[in-house]
Structure 1
Amino acid sequence: MIRNINETQPGIAVLRIAYDAANDAGRKIFVIIDEYDHFANDLIAMGVDAIYQKQARANGIVRDFYETLKIGTSDAVGRIFITGISPVMIDDLTSGFNIASNLTVDEHYNAMLGFTQEEVDTLIKATGVDKKLITVNIQTYYDGYKFHKDASLRAYNPTMILYFLNRIVKSGKIPEEIIDDNLKTDYGRLQRLTMNRENRETLLQIIRDDGIYSEIKTKFSIDNLADTGHFVSLLFYMGLLTIDKADRGLLWLKIPNYSIRTIYWEYLMQMIADTNREVQLNLSEWQ
């Protein structure tokens, strides 16, 4: 089987070989896909939407892959678990993969999407980190996420808190940079997503008010990102907004913590710098 996969069966045909092998062995396949939307988010950030549309829509390789997975559920595939950042592909894959349930906004899975305070305390104890070394308020920097209005617990961002504790374990002191540089990826996506005036104004409103009233879309296409509701929903899925409370039939989505707030500030400072640069260029034309 391995020889056939490596030498003669490229691409989606690999799945069919796996199905045959599982059926012959009387076994079920458990499919786990991490960051299913990674390529889509990168293409959105780079502004090459046409490539995304070609791959995710009719007759594209991504769509064919998920259609083949769906076919497999009739016999060889027992269960599929998929993680990702946003539901931006779900709408484009609906007809080919209309068997999925979105657990992200399910109240029962709220604590699954981050570390609770109890889990962070357990992690600190398990790694032997002396609490006296934690001289900053980690809740202020890394906590604050809630994914359902009725959820009782808020969650820490796992990447952020693990970065912080890992630095303490390695050096015996808190990191000089409290905020992980990996967050800069989200800053780059923000720049791309706010190229149109409507999204830019929405983002400025969020910075000014520390949040925004909105509903959360559970699926949407790349074509809808200029729409305010879809744009705000994408910020929620990216971890740049989180649920605070329900009010007046809508959700109040707020900036979750200080670390994320710095991303907004950096965006604002860059926008001001770009505006000043344009003004200077315009003035130079009159000199």
Structure 2
Amino acid sequence: YIPKLEDYNAPVFLRPRRFGKSLLVSTLACYYDRTKAHRFEELFGGTWIGNHPTKEHNSYMIIRYDFSKMVMADTIEGLAQNFNDLNCGPVDVMVEHNRDLFGDFQFTTRGDASKMLEEVLNYARSHEFPKVYLLIDEYDNFTNQLLTAYNDPLYEEVTTNDSFLRTFFKVIKAGIGEGSIRTCFCTGVLPATMDDLTSGYNIAEILTLEPNFLNMLGFTYEETETYLRYVLDKYSTGQERFDEIWQLIVSNYDGYRFRPNGDRLFNATILTYFFKKFAANAGSIPDELVDENLRTDINWIRRLTLSLDNAKAMLDALIIDDELPYNVADLSKKLDKQNVFDIRFYPII
């Protein structure tokens, strides 16, 4: 998938919780980091991309943000302060890792994540340094927390006008346009925040439902079968239990299909949790089939359904009919806060 991603400058890839998004971000960071060129064989030897590297590998300066670490607050001023406290560090780290280029460069402004990013991009461009490859993991983590806490007014402040978040994405947009940023790759769960940022970041290219990227994260049936056979050979009594374990994992872990004609996928973290427990117990089925850290966030169900009647209707549809009705066109169009809580969109959560 790495060669395909190089066709984009502002890709956004959305998947449910614990689907492997952060591991993908780490992979891209290692692959493109110019300071890790000497470790390319160590990190990627024996992999497909290691045998078929693109020309861009180890070519860029990496800035990696993780919005899941954002500390919440009850005011826009508090959120802005926490945002800056979190996101000034990654730019500092990038400069230190690339001191062979930056020499004695020092920031003239500190404490403002947007201004620090803008300053370092301008400096890099004026000195013709390699471009920046920017990664934002869980871009909508803290804005989703505002929605589940019913703090819609504060959510709207964060995503409109000249808020700290819109300003931050405007700097990124300008950097891509001016050529100092090669790519800004964002992961998240929902497109709502990205759509609500509107003109602040209207260059976003959401790859979530693109056929070429449907299987980028998660395990297909074919991959899962290979994974299971490996685990059985290495940690159990061989292939004689294949049918038994296969039926167990399909019954408990199958359940993702991101387009009607897409492959059925297993959540990578949930499946690996089972295999790790299975291996550690020398082939015994774990007592708990799902890691409690991965269970459904009940706050989202409460927020989505809005009322007890809606909740009952949704659960009846899932349990009795085994599905919720939906419209593919609705799922593919703009999805902001105004319509994300419409029942037509429940299937994407």
Q: Is the TM value for this pair above 0.5?
A: yes
Q: Which amino acid aligns with 1:18?
A: V
Asked whether 1:104 is paired with 2:214, we answer no
Q: Whole-Å Cα distance in 2 between the matches of residues 22 and 32 of structure 1?
A: 17
**Counterparts of 1:174-193 in structure 2 under 5 Å?**
174-193=285-304
Identity among equivalent positions (%) equals 30
Deviation per CA, 1:65-96: give whole Å up to 9, x if none.
11111011022011121111111112211211
Please, which of 166, 171, 178 is the counterpart of residue 281 of structure 2? Answer: 171
Q: Which amino acid aligns with 2:218?
A: G
Asked whether 1:221 is paired with 2:336, we answer yes
Please, which of 185, 189, 203 is the counterpart of residue 85 of structure 1? Answer: 189
Distance 1:94 1:213, change over 3 A: same
Q: Which amino acid aligns with 2:199?
A: S
Q: Whole-Å Cα distance in 2 between the matches of residues 31 and 199 of structure 1?
A: 41
Asked whether 1:58 is paired with 2:161, we answer yes
Q: Whole-Å Cα distance in 2 between the matches of residues 110 and 5 of structure 1?
A: 41
Match of 2:324 in 1: 212
Q: Whole-Å Cα distance in 2 between the matches of residues 129 and 82 of structure 1?
A: 37
Q: Whole-Å Cα distance in 2 between the matches of residues 166 and 68 of structure 1?
A: 43
Contact 2:325/2:344 (<8 A) preserved: no
Contact 1:168/1:175 (<8 A) preserved: yes
Asked whether 1:94 is paired with 2:198, we answer yes
TM-score scaled by structure 1? 0.71
Contact 2:159/2:166 (<8 A) preserved: yes
Q: Whole-Å Cα distance in 2 between the matches of residues 162 and 6 of structure 1?
A: 46
Unaligned runs of 5+ in 2: 1-94, 97-104
Deviation per CA, 1:2-53: give whole Å up to 9, x if none.
5845982532112113313432243111112111111122222222222211
Asked whether 1:47 is paired with 2:150, we answer yes
Moved more, 215-224 or 101-110: 215-224
Contact 1:202/1:228 (<8 A) preserved: no
3-state secondary structure, aligned to 1:212: coil
Contact 1:114/1:156 (<8 A) preserved: yes
Q: Which amino acid aligns with 1:189?
A: W
Q: Whole-Å Cα distance in 2 between the matches of residues 171 and 48 of structure 1?
A: 45
* Relative contact order, higher structure (CA 8 A, sep 6+): 2
Q: Whole-Å Cα distance in 2 between the matches of residues 48 and 77 of structure 1?
A: 33
Match of 1:195 in 2: 306
Match of 1:274 in 2: none
3-state secondary structure, aligned to 2:317: helix
Asked whether 1:14 is paired with 2:129, we answer no
Asked whether 1:30 is paired with 2:133, we answer yes
Q: Whole-Å Cα distance in 2 between the matches of residues 201 and 82 of structure 1?
A: 35
Deviation per CA, 1:238-272: give whole Å up to 9, x if none.
3xxxxxxxxxxxxxxxxxxxxxxxxxxxxxxxxxx
Match of 1:156 in 2: 266
Distance 1:34 1:148, change over 3 A: same
Contact 2:160/2:166 (<8 A) preserved: yes
Q: Which amino acid aligns with 2:174?
A: I
Match of 1:76 in 2: 180
TM-score scaled by structure 2? 0.59
What root-mean-square deviation, in Å, do the aligned CA atoms of Structure 1 and Structure 2 show? 2.7
Match of 2:255 in 1: 144
Unaligned runs of 5+ in 1: 239-287
3-state secondary structure, aligned to 2:206: coil
Q: Whole-Å Cα distance in 2 between the matches of residues 18 and 140 of structure 1?
A: 51
